[in-house]
Amino acid sequence: MRTVYLDHAATTPVRPEVIDVMVNVLTEAFGNPSSGHQFGRPVRKLIEQARQQTAQAINARPQEVFFTSGGTEADNLAILGAARANANRGKHLITNTIEHHAVLDAFSHLKREGFEVTVLPVDEYGFVSIETFLKALREDTVLVSIMHANNEIGTINPIAEIGCICREQGILFHTDAVQSVGKIPVDVQALNVDLLTLTGHKIYGPKGVGALYVRGGVQIAPLVHGGGQEKAIRPGTENVTGIVALGKALEVAVEELEEESKRLAGLRDNLIQGVMDGIPNSRLNGHPTERLPHNVNFSFPGLDGQMLIQQLERKGIAASAGSACTSDSVEPSHVLRGIGLERGTALGSVRLSLGKSTTEEDIDYVIAQLKESVALLQR
């Protein structure tokens, strides 16, 4: 039986070029990068090279890159760190309903510390409206966090525009770019962001490593305290293997971005067309064009998304009902509820996320299997 992995938004396999550099670090570069001797110095060099690669991938300067344990930590470091370090300037923060839980839960935590948080609604596509955003701004607003592209429905937000408004008003602006980095161009200058989150395992790097971009001059407070690594913003002996892997993964992802995103967008559009034409009453969630090249999310009325996932699994297809983090729970996805879907419709949804291994034949197979499985479950 064919196996088709369509859950690249949850995680990706580590690519061979990245495995090579990881094996090299593990076998040849065990020294502590903070050691001034012949064992430490080359390792420091490897980290600084990875910082350069990371900076280059997002058009930042190397000294603006701080390595973390992944997207979740980078989101927390950005939000908790910036809010706490700038609390003297104001205690009002803004985000929106369909962020990843790493962002939403960081803001909930800040509420308990005495911050006020405005959680903006989004429209039917998942866009934050500029008009609603402008109305939410206050004298004491210090930090705004709006994701670049949504992990469940793929919608790409007008980040540059929101960033421009924040810049004019002297408000710090964070974006979670975990899903967009390596898939569409991400340029911290063009996007007008002060803080940006990325992670390794969604771009064919390993799990457990990520980075936070912090624009020069922006103050953030650390979450953990210890040695002086990462300018004491993120102390602790560096995850050298992960950091070197992240640098490599970003370098290759950016190299092949143009060609691969075009290929994926073509496959995505075939999948959308095949399903919309072939399955009556199916609905595409997220914006039809302003969406990630590898993301598709459908609702099928009158069926349970979890059961559809199980049915697809029997055909060798791995997909996700809502986000991976909530797929054990029977609660409908907060993102699908956030774009206004009824509880039942939200529960009847699947996300299919494409990647490097996805072929045209896979897409034809998935369309055929989806038609059959949806018809079976709707009966």
Ligand X SMILES: *Cc1c(COP(=O)(O)O)cnc(C)c1O
Nearest to 282 by CA among 365, 345, 363: 345
Task: Pick the binder of ligand X from 100, 287, 291, 351 (CB under 6 A).
Answer: 100
Angle in degrees, CA 352, 120, 152, rounded to 5: 5
Q: Are 145 and 94 in contact (CB under 8 A)?
A: yes
Query: Residue 238 Cβ, how far from ligand X at the closest point, in Å?
Result: 17
Q: Residue 229: count other Cβ atoms within 10 Å of its Cβ.
A: 17
List all residues 6 or more positions away from 258 whose beta carbon is below 8 Å from its beta carbon: none
Query: Residue 359 Cβ, how far from ligand X at the closest point, in Å?
Result: 24
Q: Does 7 bind ligand X (CB under 6 A)?
A: no
Query: Residue 363 Cβ, how far from ligand X at the closest point, in Å?
Result: 23
Binding mask 112-151 for ligand X (x = CB under 6 A): -----------------------------------x---x
Q: Does 373 bind ligand X (CB under 6 A)?
A: no
Beta-bridged to residue 144, according to DSSP, are 94, 173
According to DSSP, residue 156 is labeled B
Q: Residue 21: count other Cβ atoms within 10 Å of its Cβ.
A: 21
Torsion sign across C-alpha atoms 35, 37, 41, 43: negative
Rg (CA), the chain: 21
> Of the ranges 160-168, 175-183, 339-347, 352-360, which one interacts with ligand X (CB under 6 A)?
175-183
Q: Are 293 and 261 in contact (CB under 8 A)?
A: yes
Task: Pick the binder of ligand X from 178, 233, 240, 303 (CB under 6 A).
Answer: 178
Task: Pick the binder of ligand X from 126, 154, 163, 210 (CB under 6 A).
Answer: 210
Q: Which helix (H) or strand (E) holds 343?
A: helix 343-347
Residues contacting ligand X: total by CB under 6 A: 15
Distance between CA 347 and CA 349 in Å, rounded?
Answer: 6
Distance between CA 334 and CA 346 in Å, rounded?
Answer: 9
Catalytic residue among 165, 325, 375, 377: 325
Q: Which is nearer to ligand X, 163 or 369 (CB)?
A: 163
Q: For residue 202, what are its two tokens? A: 């969604």
Q: Which is nearer to ligand X, 177 or 257 (CB)?
A: 177
> Of the ranges 194-202, 272-280, 302-310, 326-334, which one interacts with ligand X (CB under 6 A)?
194-202
Residue written as token pair 């009002």: 92
Query: Residue 335 Cβ, how far from ligand X at the closest point, in Å?
Result: 10
Task: Pick the binder of ligand X from 199, 282, 285, 299 (CB under 6 A).
Answer: 199
Distance between CA 18 and CA 356 in Å, rounded?
Answer: 14
> Of the ranges 24-32, 131-139, 172-180, 359-367, which one interacts with ligand X (CB under 6 A)?
172-180
Task: Pick the binder of ligand X from 179, 239, 297, 320 (CB under 6 A).
Answer: 179
Q: For residue 293, what are its two tokens? A: 């090249």
What's phi and psi for 95, nearest 5 deg? -145, -160
Query: Residue 292 Cβ, how far from ligand X at the closest point, in Å?
Result: 11
Nearest to 177 by CA among 320, 74, 47, 253: 74
CA 133 to chain centre: 22
Position with the least CB separation from ligand X: 71
Task: Pick the binder of ligand X from 82, 102, 122, 254 (CB under 6 A).
Answer: 102
Q: Does 176 bind ligand X (CB under 6 A)?
A: yes
Q: Which is nearer to ligand X, 84 or 207 (CB)?
A: 207
Q: Which is nearer to ligand X, 180 or 345 (CB)?
A: 180
Q: Is 325 considered catalytic here?
A: yes
Nearest to 49 by CA among 259, 204, 238: 238
Residues numbered 30 to 89 that lie near ligand X (CB under 6 A) are 70-72, 75
| Catalytic center residues | 325
Interface residues with ligand X (CB under 6 A)?
Answer: 70-72, 75, 100, 102, 147, 151, 176, 178-179, 199, 201-202, 210
